[in-house]
């Protein structure tokens, strides 16, 4: 019995896109046919995200601690015959760890994992994502039982305050302090809301928690409900997150069936219920007052504060809104204690933070690290450095409203205050790594365009200010920039930050202002020299082939859509600038970096 295997198949959204559900179903079918479930296999579990999304679909086998990457349905038979029945390791399916220069058997020993510390993600990848039994087996709902049987509401709030947990949704406001406001607010009805409207491009932290460990979110919300005197909750989930919606709805139904949600929970007399609300599809609905209006059935637009939702929120009643990751931390704090949680992280930023590590990096995926860790450690130790051995240029934190941090700041500690001091922000946890082939003017333009489209348009500073900044950036990228444009961007950006109604407008200029601060020379090259140093802006780019570097492989010529490149095999090629449309396909294909920018 002790040698029975448990097979964990990642069935988060990313791995499902690569066919992991078919892998899971094929394993079930073959194992059932062979009757291995009786003799050899304890269980096959479909889980949430394991972390290293780039290598999915992932299959992990215990107790042997074997992790296989890029698994295909055609690999399933071999995995069962060799690893499940014969206890063999299939070398070709193991992960090659470049930092260790070796193939590693277990994901727990990957360099990607070594500096991580999982609290919010503690169950993701190691429990069945649709099983309340798995959650309970890991200690789930014990924290809720603890507060209902042994703690007063005020003691719960005091414990959360003592932990110094800050909201993980972007603002970083002290969670316990916010709860204390709602607890003291007058009202016969109070509400709890989970903000699962994760709208940042490239972000998937909250989605992964809801997909992989939905009960931890419910438990955290129920604990808050008891603390502030609320009996009803809403989970506002981004409409595109179909799997998260499905898993959260099932979790609610299962929690009712097991008596940890509904009436008289744990015989305490406390009642708590939750329901899922599909998001309205607007980025601005991530802002708490916009989110509230959307739940109420109104247009998702912000309103000025005060009053704050903790005093007057949903339907005019005291309301606590925290994001998914914040809720996931609450049960652990109650179970292990505020002192334990506060011992992790930096002086003013306690605990851990989950990041979606994406961009020009070798190890793309979901990571959770202690607050205070340096950017360098995340990007090079966990992330494995820049892909294709290119040079690191910057990293953007905080999503579309965040700023870009340059190479000179790689030793910056990751915490709320340090990032703000550098003109960026923590945000919900997006982290986009940028290499030397990224144009920082175009990068800022791209995010400002996104924000201009997502602005609700209610207030003039945001609506007109962002539009004006975008026009200037469009002109600069098209070669129409003028002297004074940089100063004008700074002036308008400062005005938008100071006068916008909600957080979207107040932070929208960040990518522009931080890029001007750290990469002003690129803006000046676009305006004064009419040249894009990164070779991205087509009107400002001229490419050529370095004759000494070219090896004549012909890959560039094959990828060129206008036949602008010619040359004999194994001889240096030539690029006809008159035919070149600066699509950069040749630069992407060149293996020796012989395509250069004038």
Q: What number is the average pLDDT over the span 363-388?
A: 95
pLDDT value, residue 454? 86
C-alpha to C-alpha distance for 508 and 231, rounded to whole angstroms = 36
Q: Which helix (H) or strand (E) holds 179?
A: helix 175-184
**Per-residue CA distances from 427 to 122, 175, 178, 396, 596 (Å):** 21, 15, 18, 11, 36
* Rg of the chain over all Cα atoms, to the nearest angstrom: 26
The pLDDT value given to residue 78: 97
Partners of 396 in the β-ladder: 404, 432
| Angle formed at CA 325 by CA 295 and CA 24, multiple of 5 degrees | 95
> Considering only CA atoms, which of 508, 424, 425, 527 is closest in space to residue 465?
508
Report the mean per-residue pLDDT for the chain: 94
Buried b (16+ CB within 10 A) or exposed e, 393-409: bbbbbbbbbbbbbbeeb
* Consecutive H or E run containing 356: strand 352-359
CB 202, CB 358: distance < 8 Å: yes
Residues in the chain: 598
Contact (CB, 8 A) for 191 and 239:
no
Query: What value does the mean pLDDT take over residues 254-268?
Result: 97
Q: Over range 180-193, report the average pLDDT.
A: 96
State yes or no: pLDDT of 37 exceeds 70: no
Q: How far apart are CA 178 and CA 322, in angstroms?
A: 10
pLDDT score at 1: 41
**Of the candidates 332, 350, 51, 71, which has an alpha carbon nearest to the alpha carbon of residue 204?**
51
Which residues, in sequence order, are CB contacts of 21 under 8 Å at separation 6+?
11, 46
pLDDT at 35: 79
pLDDT 10s digits, 406-445: 999 999 999 999 998 888 888 888 899 999 999 999 999 9
- Alpha-carbon distance 595 to 598, whole Å? 10
Cβ neighbours of residue 50 under 8 Å, at least 6 residues apart?
A: 8, 10, 12, 56, 58, 60, 67, 107, 124, 125
- Domains parsed from the chain with CATH numbers: 5-114 (3.40.30.10), 147-341 (3.40.50.11540), 352-435 (3.10.20.600), 440-528 (1.20.1440.230), 542-597 (3.30.70.20)
Burial class (CB in 10 A: 0-12, 13-18, 19+), 146: middle
Which region, left, alpha or beta, applies to residue 330 given φ > 0 means left and ψ of -120 to 50 means alpha?
alpha
| DSSP designation for 550 | -
Q: What is the average per-residue pLDDT within 54-63?
A: 96
CA-to-CA distance for 113 and 124, rounded, in angstroms? 14
In sequence order, which residues have a C-beta less than 8 Å from that of residue 375 and are 6 or more positions away?
395, 405, 409, 410, 411, 412, 414
Separation between Cα atoms, residue 552 and residue 567, nearest integer Å: 7
Beta strands, E only, 87-226: 95-97, 102-104, 191-196
**201: confidence class by pLDDT, cuts 50, 70, 90:** confident
Distance from chain centroid for Cα 549: 39
The torsion angles phi and psi of 130, rounded to 5 degrees, stand at: -125, 20
pLDDT (0 to 100) of residue 34: 84
Provide the token pair at 323.
Answer: 């994001």
208-247 pLDDT tens trace: 999 999 999 999 999 999 999 999 999 999 999 999 999 9
Q: Judge contact between 133 and 222, C-beta under 8 A.
A: no
pLDDT on residue 56: 93
The token pair at 215 is 């009960």
Q: Could you read off the pLDDT of 91-150 as tens digits, one per residue?
A: 999 999 999 999 999 999 999 999 999 999 999 999 999 999 999 999 999 999 999 999
Taking a C-beta distance cutoff of 8 angstroms, is the pair 207, 323 a contact? no
In this structure, are residues 84 and 41 in contact, taking their beta carbons and an 8 Å threshold? yes
Which range has the worst mean pLDDT, 37-46, 59-68, 314-323, 497-506? Answer: 37-46
Residue 504 contacts residue 458 (beta carbons within 8 Å): no
Contact between 396 and 424 (Cβ < 8 Å)? yes
Pseudo-torsion of CA 189, 502, 294, 210, nearest 10°? Answer: -80
Mean pLDDT of 459-466: 92
pTM of the model: 0.93
Q: Quick check: 355 and 200 in contact, CB under 8 A?
A: no
């Amino acid at each position: 019995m002790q040698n029975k295997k448990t097979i964990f198949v990642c069935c988060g959204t990313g791995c499902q896109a690569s066919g992991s559900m078919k892998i899971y179903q094929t394993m079930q079918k073959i194992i059932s046919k062979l009757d291995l479930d009786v003799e050899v296999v304890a269980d096959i579990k479909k889980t949430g995200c394991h972390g290293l999304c780039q290598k999915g679909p992932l299959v992990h086998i215990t107790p042997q601690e074997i992790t296989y990457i890029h698994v295909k349905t055609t690999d399933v038979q071999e995995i069962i015959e060799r690893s499940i029945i014969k206890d063999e390791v299939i070398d070709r399916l193991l992960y090659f760890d470049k930092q260790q220069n070796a193939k590693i058997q277990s994901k727990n020993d990957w360099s990607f994992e070594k500096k991580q510390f999982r609290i919010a993600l503690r169950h993701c990848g190691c429990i069945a994502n649709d099983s309340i039994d798995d959650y309970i087996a890991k200690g789930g709902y014990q924290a809720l039982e603890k507060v209902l049987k042994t703690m007063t509401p005020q003691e719960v709030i005091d414990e959360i305050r003592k932990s110094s947990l800050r909201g993980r949704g972007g603002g970083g406001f002290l969670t316990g302090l916010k709860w204390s406001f709602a607890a003291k607010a007058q009202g016969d009805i109070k509400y709890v809301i989970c903000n699962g409207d994760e709208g940042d491009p490239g972000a998937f932290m909250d989605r992964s928690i809801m997909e992989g460990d939905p009960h931890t979110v419910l438990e955290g919300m129920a604990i808050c409900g008891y603390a502030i005197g609320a009996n009803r909750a809403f989970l506002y989930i981004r409409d595109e997150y179909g799997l998260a919606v499905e898993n959260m709805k099932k979790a609610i139904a299962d929690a009712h069936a097991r008596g940890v949600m509904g009436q008289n929970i744990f015989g305490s007399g406390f009642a708590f219920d939750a329901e899922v609300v599909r998001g309205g599809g607007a980025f601005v609905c991530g802002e708490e007052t916009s989110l509230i209006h959307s739940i109420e059935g109104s247009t998702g637009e912000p309103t000025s504060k005060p009053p704050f939702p903790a005093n007057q929120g949903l339907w005019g009643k005291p309301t606590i809104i925290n994001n998914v990751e914040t809720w996931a931390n609450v049960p652990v704090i109650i179970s292990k204690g505020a002192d334990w949680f506060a011992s992790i992280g930096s002086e003013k930023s306690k605990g851990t933070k989950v990041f979606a590590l994406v961009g020009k990096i070798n190890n793309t995926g979901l990571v959770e690290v202690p607050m205070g860790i340096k950017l360098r450690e995340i990007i090079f130790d966990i992330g494995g450095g820049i892909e294709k051995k290119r040079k690191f240029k910057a990293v953007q934190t905080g999503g579309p409203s965040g700023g870009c941090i340059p190479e000179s700041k790689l030793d910056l500690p990751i915490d709320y205050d340090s990032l703000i001091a550098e003109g960026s922000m923590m945000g919900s946890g997006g982290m986009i790594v940028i290499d030397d082939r990224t144009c920082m003017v175009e990068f800022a333009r791209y995010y400002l365009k996104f924000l201009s489209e997502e602005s609700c348009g209610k207030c003039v500073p945001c609506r007109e200010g962002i539009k004006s900044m975008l026009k200037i950036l469009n002109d600069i990228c098209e070669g129409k920039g003028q002297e004074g444009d940089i100063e004008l961007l700074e002036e308008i950006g400062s005005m938008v930050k100071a006068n916008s109604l909600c957080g979207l407008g107040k932070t929208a200029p960040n990518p522009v202002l931080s890029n001007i601060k750290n990469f002003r020379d690129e803006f000046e090259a676009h305006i004064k020299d009419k040249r894009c140093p990164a070779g991205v802006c087509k009107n400002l780019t001229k490419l050529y082939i370095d004759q000494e570097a070219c090896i004549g492989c012909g890959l560039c010529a094959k990828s060129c859509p206008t036949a602008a490149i010619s040359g004999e095999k194994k001889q240096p090629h030539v690029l006809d600038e008159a035919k070149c449309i600066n699509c950069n396909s040749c630069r992407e294909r060149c293996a020796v970096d012989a395509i250069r920018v004038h």
